[in-house]
Structure 1
Amino acid sequence: MKKIHNYNELLMVKESFPVEVSEYLKEEFHSLYDYLSNGEGIEIFSLDTHQAMIILENKDELTNILNMTFAIEYIEELRLETIAIQRIGIYSAEDVQLYYYILSNELG
């Protein structure tokens, strides 16, 4: 499991994924920044613990999240160019925290 609270963590995590996933995560972070920032620069903006973007790295982590049925706000499957991602919104501290799981590396 990887957590992204700020722009530096995003840059570190981006290197672990294919370019299209990295670009998608960057867009997601920028959307959260636009919505939640109070005018501070993106370099110092930080998501609270219950707002951090969470990237699930294995099936066990995904299963644990999906077992929290009482807290699931939504589950959607996104298809990028060659990769499918599951985007899961979990209700946390009166907010929705975003979880991501790469379903497949090659779409046919």
Structure 2
Amino acid sequence: MCGLCGIAGTAPHWTDGVPAPSAPDTPTRRRDRQARVRGLNRVLRPFGLTASDWQGNAYVIATQTGRSEIVADTAHLWQAAARLRGRACDPLDLDLLDRLEAL
């Protein structure tokens, strides 16, 4: 299945918060998602990767050379990051956590 088909119609991941039932695309939800992308970028930057929102339904993870993958939610982000880098990315690495805490 291609990335678009896998994303279409999926329920929100728990990390995406709980949108209002009557308005899934409210300003609050967009603002929360933008804040989530900023946080993801803080963690991904040391790995040479970036994240961006893709139509409020997914994330695009990209390398500095332009290779990218669409992931449905943050649960799939680290697998895509490892594929793009060619090696594992450990978001719980103590050195990384120390650097992030110092920011």
Measured against the shorter chain, the TM-score band is under 0.3
TM-score (ref. length: structure 1): 0.27
Kindly indicate whether structure 1 or structure 2 has the higher relative contact order, using CA contacts under 8 Å at least 6 residues apart: 1
More helix by share: 2
TM-score (ref. length: structure 2): 0.27
